[in-house]
Amino acid sequence: MKKNSKIKKAALKVVERIVRNEVEKDVCGDPPICSGIFHQPKRPKRKEN
């Protein structure tokens, strides 16, 4: 039984570390979400000959 509880504790630590990393990544925004897609310059109109 002691072996089983050690495995559970180790698995819990790993899951906790993974969850913390994911939350930090979402909060800090690494890499930051780029809003450049919303700023698109207008294309020049085609000149017809």
Pairwise pLDDT comparison (12 vs 48), residue with the higher score? 12
| Burial readout 12-41 (b: 16 or more C-beta within 10 A, e: otherwise) | eeeeeeeeeeeeeeeeeeeeeeeeeeeeee
User: What are the tens digits of pLDDT across the range 7-38?
Assistant: 899 999 999 999 998 888 777 665 566 667 67
Q: What is the pTM assigned to this prediction? A: 0.49
pLDDT score of 46 more than 70: yes
Residue 16 CA from chain centroid, whole number: 16
**pLDDT-based confidence at residue 1 (cuts at 50, 70, 90):** low
pLDDT at site 15 = 94
